[in-house]
Structure 1
Amino acid sequence: MAISSRIQILSFLAGLALASSAVAASQPSHGFVAHYQVTRSGQPLGNATLSLQLGANGTYRYTSEVDGTAGVAALLAASVNEESQFRWNHGGPESTEYHYRMQTAFKHRHRQMTVDWAQGQVSVDEGKGVQQYPARPGMVDHNLLLLAIGWSLQQGKTGALALPVAVRQTVETEHFQISKDGSVSVPAGHFQTQRVDRSDPGKALSAWYAPDQFPLPVKLSQQEGGDIAMQLVDFKRQ
């Protein structure tokens, strides 16, 4: 997989908070580990592991790990690790820290984001100096995207979703549309799903959820970067 694509699955493993119009989700009561197979244009590319751990004092740790195991991704020993720490506030997740690491045989990238909620300020460091900008209530990092959407669906959210997401230099509002879709078959089984599509121009991303069973999608698809897809292999609660 080309380095310039940054293993485009990162777009799937991204983060968002529930908008004020969303139905408030119940605070998570258990952790989990989910495994996915990743393909590009139908060919094996790698594996992804998403996990949630419950911490002390109402804190949570959510990680996304992607390893290239086939094709160019395997030759480059490509891997991506993202870690989010968040709290549960006003019925939804709010980021407190985010760490991103991309590693290949030839290159390494990292990003660290911290949120000072007492001061209402976000600080982002990519090794070239710290950037700061105002935080927004309900804001989360991109790594929490799939999980927060899943919690919203589990609480009966339908229709449009507008979500505040912390990026490099600001908080942007991302837009999604929820619809009924039908049956989907993946390695983990056969599921009746709801489909979520990002509706912002030029941001093609689709995810299929079985919210009565999992807070994460059973399937994802993105055309940008070479027809990347992820399919659920197994999901275990802890």
Structure 2
Amino acid sequence: MPGLSRAALALLALLASGLAVAEPALQPFRARYALALRGVPVGEALVQLDIDADGRYRMRARSQADAALKLLLPDRLADSAEGHVGADGVAPLHYTHERSGGSKREFTEITFDHGAGEVRVQSDEGAARLPLRPGMFDPLSLQLHAMWSLRAQRPLGTVTLVDDASPDAYAVTEQGHETVDTGLGRLDAVKLLRGQPGDRKLAAFWFAPAHGYLPVQVQQWRKGRETLRMTLLGVSPGTP
């Protein structure tokens, strides 16, 4: 009996250890963001994440100008990403980007074919096939990868952003904690920087630990000038 008790205690300790290091699952959400282009408030962006029981995810983002600005900014942007998230991280499968409503129309479709080991890009500018390598993500799956990495306490390192036929590799570095003013009040957030100061393209993301590392602010710069800013207005749970 004493031997059995020690074995039971050892088993419980092992189970407790396994639970302690288990990676927490990402949770579905629906979030609204204030959207500003080149420093000018123009409307809202809606971001939705759905995840099923098998880890299959679908993430969608769409933006549209306020009613008063629709005549000046009639463009509507819609992005969608699908893939799988599990113990090994985020594996994107399919991504689309569409711009409509204005004088300029865009459509891009990207397929991450893990079986064939390639990425297929189809856009208004033509088609391309690229070798699929670790660390390749579409714009939405990259945000999901950052959320997963922060929750699992894994370094992001260098990632490759695939949004057209010419992917760009970026170093993603953690910049510490900052407080961000949002529609939910002032939130503590972990700041990540994609790229390095002085790069032609630079982006910063703020993720709130208290909300499952939900992105609460996003900023993008091009040639040193801010081109986009999204700040959280509100969030509600999604449907698993």
Length-normalised TM-score, structure 2: 0.77
Q: Aligned-residue CA RMSD in angstroms?
A: 2.7
CA offsets per residue over residues 78-108 of structure 1, 9 Å max, x none? Answer: 1100000111255211111111101133221
Residues matched between the structures, number: 214
- Alignment match, 1:16: none
Alignment of 1:96-107 (within 5 A): 96-107=93-104
1:169 aligned to 2:165?
Answer: yes
* Runs of 4+ residues deviating >6 angstroms: none
Question: 1:49 Cα shift?
Answer: 0.6
Which of 221, 224, 229 pairs up with 1:223?
A: 221
CA distance in 2 between partners of 1:74 and 1:92 (Å): 42
CA offsets per residue over residues 174-229 of structure 1, 9 Å max, x none? Answer: 21210223322212211112211123422222222212323332122233364532
Question: 1:44 Cα shift?
Answer: 1.7
Letter in structure 1 aligned against 2:91? E
Unaligned 5+ segments in structure 1 are: 1-22
CA distance in 1 between partners of 2:40 and 2:68 (Å): 9
- Alignment match, 1:153: 150
CA distance in 2 between partners of 1:53 and 1:106 (Å): 32
CA distance in 2 between partners of 1:25 and 1:71 (Å): 45
Amino-acid identity (%): 23
Letter in structure 2 aligned against 1:234? G
Letter in structure 2 aligned against 1:203? K
CA distance in 1 between partners of 2:230 and 2:37 (Å): 9
CA distance in 2 between partners of 1:196 and 1:24 (Å): 23
CA distance in 2 between partners of 1:228 and 1:172 (Å): 19
Which of 193, 196, 199 pairs up with 1:197?
A: 193
CA distance in 2 between partners of 1:127 and 1:79 (Å): 17
Letter in structure 1 aligned against 2:176? K
- Alignment match, 2:122: 125
**Inter-CA distance 226–164: structure 2 relative to 1 (3 Å threshold):** closer
CA offsets per residue over residues 3-33 of structure 1, 9 Å max, x none? Answer: xxxxxxxxxxxxxxxxxxxx995443x4110
Question: 1:62 Cα shift?
Answer: 0.5
CA distance in 2 between partners of 1:24 and 1:120 (Å): 29
Alignment of 1:58-77 (within 5 A): 58-69=55-66, 74-77=71-74
- Alignment match, 1:9: none
Q: Aligned with 1:223: secondary structure?
A: strand
Q: Which has the higher contact order (CA 8 A, sep 6+)?
A: 1
Q: Aligned with 1:102: secondary structure?
A: strand
Q: Aligned with 2:146: secondary structure?
A: helix
The answer (yes or no) to whether the contact 1:83–1:99 under 8 Å persists in 2 is yes
Unaligned 5+ segments in structure 2 are: 1-20
Question: 1:72 Cα shift?
Answer: 5.7
CA distance in 2 between partners of 1:206 and 1:70 (Å): 28
Letter in structure 2 aligned against 1:237? P
Alignment of 1:1-238 (within 5 A): 26-28=24-26, 30-40=27-37, 42-55=39-52, 57-69=54-66, 74-88=71-85, 91-157=88-154, 161-169=157-165, 171-200=167-196, 201-224=199-222, 226-238=226-238
**Inter-CA distance 167–220: structure 2 relative to 1 (3 Å threshold):** closer
Q: Aligned with 2:116: secondary structure?
A: coil
Q: Which has the larger radius of gyration?
A: 2
Letter in structure 1 aligned against 2:50? Q
CA distance in 1 between partners of 2:117 and 2:55 (Å): 20
CA offsets per residue over residues 124-145 of structure 1, 9 Å max, x none? Answer: 1114543111111343212222
